[in-house]
Structure 1
Amino acid sequence: MANTFSKVERINEILQETIYSIESSKEEITEIVEYARDDVKHIEKELFEIKERVDKVIKEVNLLEIEERKSRAYLSNVSKNFRIYTEEDLKDAYDKANECRIRLLLKREEEKRLIERRKEQEFRLKSAIEVFEKAEKVRKSVSVVTEYLKGNLDEILFTVDHLNKRQVLGIKIIEAQEEERERLARDIHDGPAQSMANILVKAEICERLMDIDRNKSREELKNLKTIVRTTLKDLRKTIYDLRPMSLDDLGLIPTLERYIYNFIDYSGIDVKLNIMGDVVNLNSAIEVAVFRIIQESLNNVFKHSKATEARITLEYSPTRLNLSIVDNGIGFNQEEVNKIGGSATGGFGLISIKERVELLEGNIEIKSWPGRGTRINIYIMLPEEES
């Protein structure tokens, strides 16, 4: 009894630490929300200034068009009545008409550039608003979780059957949270942040080349568009990795099919998805865990295995979910992967997969042979309501 009481006390400490960690994360998320809100306001201000410049340039273009038409009409009149006007008059009329035409061409080019900048800024604003809304949603969710844990702490302590697993679960929550924050920070720093810095440099180059070398400027603008597209793709991938919305909207199988399609596109690895049995809607936690397991497995295949093919089989049975992931890569030493430290190639990814399976009270078998690929078999027992 005393041992059980000490375990409950330990669980209480873990939950308190979890709440503290979540509250600390909430402060950081709040900072992210504020940064996203400021970014939206900054982009809105820039967009407003660009729109004002566009309106001004459009009016200038209209006036120049009128002036250019008048100069051409005057030149035509002078040319027709050459007996009335002198050669000097004809030359002045031609110079004025040519000057008006050049000014009009330059102003139209400026109008075109500003309109393109307005479109890009509108797209930036839309993306920034989406990021802000998602960050705000995450902040609200974390607040709800924190209040729930605080208000239901005693109930949680006395309704969980497996106290030892609860201890492990509390630690894993903290570790998983820190790992996810570190991964997200690394992905943003190495991907979109670097690309945004590159975009800024390219934009400055284009601005300087605009009046010097138009052909080179166009070439730099094309490069800039390519960088922007890549940055947008990276941002969408980061957002998708945080939480694939299609899991809630479409379910596990369509989300997997979409993820695998994109994975094949950027990795070049041929992945086959085979679904067996009658597909049923599972508990959201199980579907998220299965998706993350497959996602982590394919990441390992892409980063470490040097495989050209992979096969995923997901079998629905009345009482359990069977999952196998097989690749034809270089494999690894089976003894290394069994080490808890995960020193083998891709070991930390495999540890993450093992932890997810254990949290679902499932079983996992990992078999690998150097030069002959890797096979992962996972068996997850379904709760009675799922069965």
Structure 2
Amino acid sequence: MANYKKVDTANLDKIIKKTVEAINNSKTELFDIAESARKECQRLEKELVELKQRTAEIIQSVGLLEIALNESKKQLMLVSKNYDKYSEDEIREAYENADNIRVELAIKREREQYYIKRRNELELRLKNAYKTVEKADNLISQIGVSLSYLTGDLENVSLQIEDMKQKRLLGLKIIKAQEEERQRVAREIHDGPAQLMSNIVLKAEMCERLVDSEPKRAKEELKTLRSCVRDTLRDVRKIIYDLRPMSLDDLGLIPTLQRYLETCQEESELEVSFKTRGAFEQLRPAISLTVFRLVQEAVNNIKKHAHANKVVINLEFLEKELKLYIADDGVGFEPGLLKTSGKNINSGFGLISMRERVELLDGKFEIDSTIGKGTRLNITLPLIPEEGVSNG
């Protein structure tokens, strides 16, 4: 008969405090992000006001030059008709005056277009900065609600835990995974958008110096600058998508999975087959996110370890549960090894974490794998959980 150890409430409280502390730290970091975004908005607003003023001045200058050019053309016509009444110096002066006005007008018009384009870009950046502030404020509010829920209800967690040792490991894994995720995001931002933004600043400064003296070269630098901005935007979107795909809320689970698997197939040599059956209109966000993360983790494991050529993913909605089937034709492994590796906190967040995610939602997770014959996952999740089941 199995022996059950007494729940270590002191250790449980320590884990809970670490979890709450980690969430508090995340909230503080979000405050910093929101504050930085607000400062960026203020800076952009000030720069936009100055640029609008310069734009208005250059537009007014262009208007005056156009009037002056028309007057010089009239003077040229008068001189041409009555050239015998004017001296050679007066005629030459009339032509030189018209040419000078024409050249200055061309330069002013080009600068006008540059100011207008830059003004439009600043307005777009300011709009995106406002969105960042709004999203950060929303996340802070959501974390506040979550923190209130955790501090109020986690005291009863010990009553729902049967195997204290495994749950303790899960809590430590969550904290470890959170720190690893922060490091990954920080590294991606440093190596991607941060480097590109530095390059953008240098390119922008170069364009400012060249716009008057070497306009052609300035245009070429602006093309490079636009490419850098696009690359930065792509990297930022990828980082945001990895944190949480917004299309889960906007489009739903199935379109999000289709888009993700299509991207995986394009970026790798995997042949992916994805089929669905049935539908469930009021799918809980926790279920949608869990299914997406399960598929994401499974595909990542297959790409890293399975050496597979084909992946089959079937998702079936029944009346009270959904079934997820994932299979590959890779090298396979010995499922019994998971039992020993699961006791180690450093064993990773792969199949072990997938099983724990499913069990937290009162689901079933089955692995069938044979060395040389691939791996098959059969997952069942309840669509209408019993009262008291976690929604996270």
Considering the TM-score relative to the shorter chain, is it more than 0.5? Answer: yes
Q: What amino acid is aligned across from residue 245 of structure 1 in structure 2?
A: M
Determine the C-alpha separation between the residues in 1 that align with 2:188 and 2:97: 58
Is structure 2 residue 367 aligned with structure 1 residue 365? Answer: yes
8 Å CA contact retained: 2:271, 2:309: yes
Residue 186 of structure 1, CA deviation: 2.0
Residue 124 of structure 1, CA deviation: 1.2
Count of matched residue positions in the alignment of Structure 1 and Structure 2: 378
User: Partner of 2:390 in structure 1?
Assistant: none
Residues 168 and 133 from structure 1, CA distance in 2 versus in 1: closer, same or farther, beyond 3 angstroms? same
Determine the C-alpha separation between the residues in 1 that align with 2:91 and 2:231: 55
Determine the C-alpha separation between the residues in 2 that align with 1:273 and 1:290: 14
Q: What amino acid is aligned across from residue 56 of structure 2 in structure 1?
A: D
Q: CA RMSD in A?
A: 3.3
Determine the C-alpha separation between the residues in 1 that align with 2:127 and 2:233: 12
Identity between Structure 1 and Structure 2 (%): 42
Residue 259 of structure 1, CA deviation: 2.9
8 Å CA contact retained: 2:329, 2:375: no
User: Partner of 1:142 in structure 2?
Assistant: 143
User: Partner of 1:312 in structure 2?
Assistant: 313
User: Partner of 2:195 in structure 1?
Assistant: 194
Is structure 2 residue 382 aligned with structure 1 residue 382? Answer: yes
Residue 97 of structure 1, CA deviation: 0.2
Determine the C-alpha separation between the residues in 2 that align with 1:9 and 1:150: 16
User: Partner of 2:30 in structure 1?
Assistant: 29
Residues 260 and 21 from structure 1, CA distance in 2 versus in 1: closer, same or farther, beyond 3 angstroms? same
Three-state SS of the structure 2 residue aligned to 1:312 is strand
Residues 72 and 263 from structure 1, CA distance in 2 versus in 1: closer, same or farther, beyond 3 angstroms? farther
Give per-residue Cα distances to partners, 1:50-78, cap 9 Å, x unaligned: 11111111111111111111111111111
Residues 362 and 154 from structure 1, CA distance in 2 versus in 1: closer, same or farther, beyond 3 angstroms? same
Give per-residue Cα distances to partners, 1:147-189, cap 9 Å, x unaligned: 222233444554x254636434433432332233222222222
Is structure 2 residue 91 aligned with structure 1 residue 90? Answer: yes
Q: What amino acid is aligned across from residue 45 of structure 2 in structure 1?
A: E
Give per-residue Cα distances to partners, 1:171-217, cap 9 Å, x unaligned: 34323322332222222222211211121222233334434544333
Q: Which moved more, 1:106-115 or 1:248-257?
A: 248-257
8 Å CA contact retained: 1:322, 1:378: yes
Determine the C-alpha separation between the residues in 2 that align with 1:120 and 1:232: 14
Determine the C-alpha separation between the residues in 2 that align with 1:195 and 1:337: 44
Alignment of structure 1 residues 171-320 onto 2, 5 Å: 171-264=172-265, 270-279=271-280, 281-300=282-301, 310-318=311-319, 320=321
Residues 71 and 351 from structure 1, CA distance in 2 versus in 1: closer, same or farther, beyond 3 angstroms? farther
Determine the C-alpha separation between the residues in 2 that align with 1:205 and 1:306: 47
Q: What amino acid is aligned across from residue 378 of structure 2 in structure 1?
A: I
Structure 1 unmatched ranges of 5 or more? none
8 Å CA contact retained: 2:193, 2:235: yes
Q: Which moved more, 1:107-116 or 1:11-20?
A: 11-20
User: Partner of 1:46 in structure 2?
Assistant: 47
Three-state SS of the structure 2 residue aligned to 1:377 is strand
Give per-residue Cα distances to partners, 1:353-385, cap 9 Å, x unaligned: 444344444314264756x7x544131241654
Q: What amino acid is aligned across from residue 382 of structure 1 in structure 2?
A: P
Q: What amino acid is aligned across from residue 364 of structure 2 in structure 1?
A: G
Q: Which moved more, 1:357-366 or 1:10-19?
A: 357-366
Residues 377 and 99 from structure 1, CA distance in 2 versus in 1: closer, same or farther, beyond 3 angstroms? same
Three-state SS of the structure 1 residue aligned to 2:85 is coil
Determine the C-alpha separation between the residues in 2 that align with 1:56 and 1:213: 22
Q: Which moved more, 1:236-245 or 1:346-355?
A: 346-355
Determine the C-alpha separation between the residues in 1 that align with 2:200 and 2:296: 30
TM-score, with length taken from structure 2: 0.83
Alignment of structure 1 residues 109-188 onto 2, 5 Å: 109-158=110-159, 160=160, 162=162, 164=164, 166-188=167-189
Q: What amino acid is aligned across from residue 259 of structure 1 in structure 2?
A: Y
Determine the C-alpha separation between the residues in 1 that align with 2:291 and 2:28: 30
Q: What amino acid is aligned across from residue 106 of structure 1 in structure 2?
A: I
User: Partner of 1:324 in structure 2?
Assistant: 325
Three-state SS of the structure 1 residue aligned to 2:274 is strand
Residue 322 of structure 1, CA deviation: 2.8
Determine the C-alpha separation between the residues in 1 that align with 2:328 and 2:66: 66
Q: What amino acid is aligned across from residue 203 of structure 1 in structure 2?
A: A
Structure 2 unmatched ranges of 5 or more? 387-392
Three-state SS of the structure 2 residue aligned to 1:152 is helix
Give per-residue Cα distances to partners, 1:230-275, cap 9 Å, x unaligned: 2112212222332223323432112222333444455575533211
TM-score, with length taken from structure 1: 0.84
Three-state SS of the structure 1 residue aligned to 2:41 is helix
8 Å CA contact retained: 1:324, 1:375: no
